[in-house]
Amino acid sequence: MLDRREFVQKLLVDRKDLLVVSGLGSPTYDVAACGDHPLNFYLWGAMGGAAMIGLGLALAQPSLRVLVLTGDGEALMGLGSLATIGVKRPVNLAIVVLDNQHYGETGMQPSHTRAGIDLVAVAKALKRCCAPHAAFSRRSCDQASVHGGIAQIDSNIAVVGATLVVAPLRVRAPGDRINGARSGQS
Amino acid sequence: MYWPDLIYAQFRRVGIRQVGYVPDAGHSRLIELCVNDPNIHDVVLTTEEEGVGLVAGAALGGERAALLMQSSGVGNCINMFSLMRNCGFPCLVLITMRGEFAEFNPWQVPMGSITEATLKLCGFLTYRVGEPDDVDDIVGGGCDMAFGGDLQVAIVLSQRLIGRKEWTK
């Protein structure tokens, strides 16, 4: 399992002129933790809108790369936008879903991915949506695959087409509680 | 000129480059004009709220965008409109009304009867067009407010302007 802060840091370490849109909740913390940057757009609301903001930005700035970094809950709320993005298919847009299978800000309630809803399978089913990459499988999240996956994201942003990557994360809250305590854990 | 063509001419005048829409019969002609324009990214949405994100992204990237929707779609956007207020993005929404004049579909009435009030509660400067002769002026004025002043502007195209929806076999 990947540590979210480490993963995002590695993703952004050599960002150059990458435009980053972060979804509300932990992803915004993760991106800000790498250091504030004028090319970051942080969301703390508009849940479900991150990917579409990425689309508008990618269409407006075709010569720049756009990364939408969001969580599973936020991505699920905007699931239809994967179809909308699939129709336009901008090559300069990548969506990375930090999937810890829980709604982090509201008490770590399990999300749909916890029950087995597979976002990569959704993207694949949408076919034209992306060249979807399950770059990180739950069984092989070691350092090599992280680096390999990041390299793949970078080249995919440049070359292949709108890309969706789901990064399964270490889940910090114990158990599978509904309405878990608000302990401030990420 | 047919009134949708006048709206399109205003879009060209102010340089709108992205148009998001969930198709509506009343917007058919305008949608067609935008789809056929190689300088406009026409973006068909699965739900109207996606368009609000699109407008925000376009604004972040320095492009002007407009949204076309039916009155029912306004209801789908309410929370996403918070993006507009919090970030001060220019926003132009053109809304074809249902649920008012000669409406035969009762499902249109709940949202249709609160559309303008909803837009105003969401912080939009809201203008209504009831006559074809007013389209050019009001839409042009709306464009100038939205993009000259970074304001959120909604233009409501009355059901009477659009005409009765005829169901034919």
Asked whether the beta carbons of B68 and B54 are under 8 A apart, the reply is no
Please indicate whether, in this complex, the C-beta atoms of A51 and B53 are within 8 angstroms of each other. Answer: yes
- Check residue B67 and give its pLDDT: 98
What pLDDT does A127 receive?
54
B61 to A57: CB separation less than 8 angstroms, yes or no: yes
The region of weakest confidence among A157-166, B10-19, B37-46, B74-83 is: A157-166
pLDDT at B161 over 70: yes
Residue from B34, B44, B47, B49 whose CB has the most chain A CBs within 10 Å, to mutate: B49
CA A43 – CA B149 distance, rounded (Å): 23
What was the pLDDT predicted at A140? 35
Cα A63 to Cα A13, A175, B25, B65, B157: the distances in Å are 20, 45, 35, 19, 37
Could you tell me the pTM of the whole model?
0.89
Per-residue model confidence as pLDDT tens digits over B102-140: 888 999 999 999 999 999 999 999 999 999 999 999 999
Model confidence at A92: pLDDT above 90: no
- Chain B residues with CB-CB distance to A88 below 8 A: 41, 43
Chain B: which residues have CB within 8 Å of chain A?
Answer: 17-18, 41, 43-47, 49-63, 65, 79-80, 82-83, 86
* Chain B closest-CA separation from residue A180 CA (Å): 26
> Distance between CA atoms of A66 and A108, rounded to whole angstroms?
29
pLDDT tier at A175, thresholds 50, 70, 90: very low
CA distance B74 to A83: 21
Percent of chain B with pLDDT over 70: 96
Q: What percent of chain B has pLDDT over 90?
A: 91
- Among partner residues B44, B80, B82, which is closest to A87 by beta-carbon distance? B44
pLDDT tens for A5-39 read 888 898 898 899 999 999 999 999 999 999 999 99
